[in-house]
Structure 1
């Protein structure tokens, strides 16, 4: 029974990878660049930011429309049951004027208006603000997609290492069982081999499920449907070559999109100060109208004769006293500028902290990655020697298990360090404000 049990385990471990890793014909093979490109076109948050840009553009055009001539038509019909404007104003008129109508066309053109002037001045900064907001969303999308992509790759590399480890354990299990059958060793060796094999199979299953959840998150931030199957394509050699970055670059606050947004917001606040400062000036408009007035005693004859009027002129609206509202609004606008200055100072401190942390993480991850790369080569050499010595009867099976475990740990740690290094590089580029969104 024990022999049958061992054979079943061995066969299952050989067959499971083929079943579990059979690729669907509907899999979509994508690179990191393709994932980022798709996310920049389809990520809902980014599309919302682009829609916000369009909404802002419409708001600007709505505000600037007041600079254009305004043309309106007002028309009226009245029936007087008692009295009328004509008989009341001129008692000599004997016949009552019961029917009254007017058709009018009015035109106006703003010459100066503080509200319209503010809209014209703020249009530039408003467009810039929403454009920067879109860029900020793009930067976040690129960062999040890249990290999620590397996270999936890390789990896939861990899965590859576990598969290789399982192959080694299967071979060790066969060797231990054959040596037990030959009476060279007792049954402890192959039982230990079975335990190690079962543990690796369980770990592989956990990693497979982790890949599913991480891939689902990647698809979410890409804005891709859950029904699509992604198969990630990557060149590990290329990622190794791209893992380095110049750590001597100086931090420039102006490169950070968050800092740029605050500067633009402050510019808009300064325009509000100017608006309230000059709000005591009058509003001036040119006006004109053409009216047709109809009067008659009967409705059937109302529109038989018309009395036209035509005029043009200038209107001036002058705020004399507003209950100190203008002064209060001016003080409020100045306080908002002061608050914006403090936001900028706080942003500088935050950006500096983020940069220092990102740089420290990158440097430590880089050192860790270099050292762990050496450990992989050493662990491979140790495993080969110990495996040969075990077959010659020099080493115990416990030494083989330890060597196998060290090799697997070294490989897992290496790839974990590599992808942590790549993620920390993204954080450092984001902190420096040089993360490419193209």
Structure 2
């Protein structure tokens, strides 16, 4: 089948590659000059297949309210005169309860474990082709740092809720956390570490390097990438999308995949449907650190940052900013991520050469992506709305999508990732 994928970010490139593996003739369109240059560019690096809980939780509204006056706080909200922002906030608030969170935990974990299986399969196939495929990949697990006894209790409750799915989680005492990752000795000595929830099967890696490398492999399989193309309009007939127009250029296909992030919200409205996600801005900082850097990827619950070692670069990411489509880098907030990293790993030092980045995550209110057929079209498919979980869920999402397009029996239930699920439309 002749297919066009809209978007050359991580989700679009993994979708294109899997579809090419299935024998389809694939073209990818993106407005940027190369693959993975927006949300995929400098994220936290975690392949947290078991770190997939949604952000909406019972304590979030009150915690967020307490942070509103602090410009460097983990959460910031800039009210906009936009119906979509308020609609998303309402849907998010309705998800801030324990039953809703537990429901999505299980769906996301199912997709996360499937995504790990699919990533391992991909890497094995690529290795069999004999060429190098490097993205600063580490298989050292992810350790969630628990600052107090309450956090340890919640971690044990999470393990109990998910025990039947056998995710492979371990609660560690503080001393065992330091034995696993010696870079944590400082916070342990300061009494800031009560324990950790360790996922030994989780991994880390540079999502941008992966996207670039996979795009190159996709080209070798015949995938055509059209960069620097701004999508301006669509041609449709009798419930089918016929072509995408980029100015005067017309790209036709038998079927289309919509893998655009926040930039796709307006285009979806042109096609006559609404995508129920909203931009949530995040920040990251990267510093060179070859000695004393942690080998295990870390999630610091107290400071609300994640940290990954990416081939001698230490990457910390965090913050949630609901501020519309603003992509300006706020130095106060960016430096707050660096400060959190310095507190966690004091040997980072002043990090004069720190590189700051900010990007917009396409976040659904319930914390799960949308993998479905678009309403009103027989041949338009959606693979979008992954929020902070794009790197983690990319390969599973791409394989689920490929099965849906190919009319095959899916390996996991696609229903929880449908566009019209009630949790997204209050």
TM-score interval w.r.t. the shorter chain?
under 0.3
| Structure possessing the higher relative contact order (Cα contacts under 8 Å, 6 or more residues apart) | 2
More strand by share: 2
TM-score, structure 2 as length reference: 0.20
More helix by share: 1
